[in-house]
Amino acid sequence: MPTPPQVRVRIRRVALACLLAAWAFTAWWQGHKPLPEGTHIASAACAVADDEVSFIADITASDAFGHALTSQGIFDAVLATVRGARHFIVLDYRAFGDAADPDAQPQRRISEELTGELLARLSAQPDLKILFITDPSIERHGSQPAPQLERLRAAGVSVVRTDLDRLRDSNTAYSSLWRLAVRWWDTPAGAFGFEGRRLNFKANDRQLIIADDGRGGLVSVLGSANPSDYESAWSNVALRVEGGALSALLASELAVARFSGWDGNSDAFGVSSGARPAASSPCASPGAARAGVARVSSVQLLSEGAIQSALLTRVDATASTDAIEVAMYRLADRGVIEALLAAARRGVAVRLILDPNEGASSGGAAGIPNQVAGSELVSRSGGAIHVRWYRTHGERFHSALVMIYGPTRAWVLAGSATLTSRSLADFNLVADAAVDTESGSALAQQSLGYFEALWSNRAALGIEYTADFAAFADPSQSDYWLYRLMEASGASGF
């Protein structure tokens, strides 16, 4: 007997309602599900001597004739860390390998240098354990092995592709449909494949190395730089850190590897049953006296949403005698923007150096988010907040640095976290170090000197690091609301 039309309509409506309910529940759950172990960490603040933490910057600029001028130190410090390790090395990078464009001439063959040093260290120290954690996009989610990683695997290095499905979804509207309709049957080389996964806008965006220092302690270089030939000319910053605070970072890295399928022996890296790594100096409280040490700072390791909590707490505590200086690849997070505006209203001096986010690799429409967000800050603060743009010439100003300082103290935050919701709201994996130090310490002088040189164009004749605000100001309301929609929905690459 034929089904009456009214019944067919009801069936279709019920089916549609069920599909919408499944989509809505999946979107909510995947955007709020519990975080996997090893994420959202905030270590204890540990005392360090002045020489146990240092600031490193890679700077690319152009002279009056358009010739690139570079100053690099981050991967020199990474390679030195590799050479000093005797027991273990853990690396975690989003990008690693040759230039994306085979015809491009990279500034430096960083990936080959790092691969060579790791293999050489394995040869010199056969018992050395090396764990290399990567973002799966390096190998197009398993469909296209990376030559350097294959060489490392062949030598016995444990290479782990991060299981991004364990992370929360930022692009919930798309990702929930992908999970319901595509994920179950499509392979990385299938019809949707890499591009379908890429549109989830999820990444392991930690950029760091952590190893034993050969003397019973830990050392790390963490910042915004990747060992990618394509990115080798990008401007970046990093911190080299020693001391007990790194125990929490090491445990976090091993936990990320573990939830991504690694079944190696944690004891080989000095970690057993969640205990503090054996190869580590103890974590002394910042107020503890240290014999023979004239100046002591404190270091705290932060990841994911813990970075936002620490940053907003510091910004909200500023007064008219303080200053905030930011050098940043991307600025979009509404909580940070409102906190900066509130600080400016209290009389805090606020200055920002931003990448102009031009070109396709900006993660969205050209100029978004920085040109729009920077223009909003200047406009809504009545000019109290000052913005300058880094003069890029095809490369990126990829730094991720925030400094808050007053008459006697300085707080320096650096690492891989940009000021976006994807970095700060527990979506992407990111890692920063926060250093509370005296204003006269070497670290404070290094980082503040770096910012002032870029801001004031303190360079040889014909070199200008930064441009005036008017060069890239964007007061367009259509661009502003596009940026707000992209940031709120997660449907963006930033």
Identify the DSSP state of 210: E
Q: Binning pLDDT at 50, 70 and 90, where does residue 161 land?
A: very high
What architecture is the 49-269 domain classified under in CATH?
A: 2-Layer Sandwich (3.30)
Cβ-contact 276, 392 below 8 angstroms: no
pTM of the full structure: 0.93
Distances in whole angstroms, Cα of residue 413 to Cα of each of 84, 130, 238, 388, 398: 26, 28, 10, 20, 15
Residue among 267, 46, 255 at smallest CA distance from 163: 255
Residue 492: what pLDDT?
76
CATH 3.30.870.10 domain position(s) in the chain: 49-269, 296-489
Task: Give the up-direction half-sphere exposure of residue 487: CA atoms within 13 A in the CB hemisphere.
Answer: 25
Interval 251-280: pLDDT, tens? 999 999 999 999 998 888 876 544 445 555
Write out the E strands in 366-443. 385-390, 400-405, 409-415, 431-438
* pLDDT higher than threshold 50 for residue 153: yes
Distances in whole angstroms, Cα of residue 316 to Cα of each of 17, 253, 322, 458: 45, 30, 11, 31
Interval 80-136: pLDDT, tens? 999 999 999 999 999 998 755 555 556 789 999 999 999 999 999 999 999 999 999
Measured over the CA atoms of residue 228, residue 229, residue 232 and residue 234, the dihedral's sign is negative
Residue 12: what pLDDT?
85
Class of 296-489 in CATH: alpha beta
Q: Binning pLDDT at 50, 70 and 90, where does residue 286 land?
A: confident
**Total residue count of the chain as it appears in this document:** 494
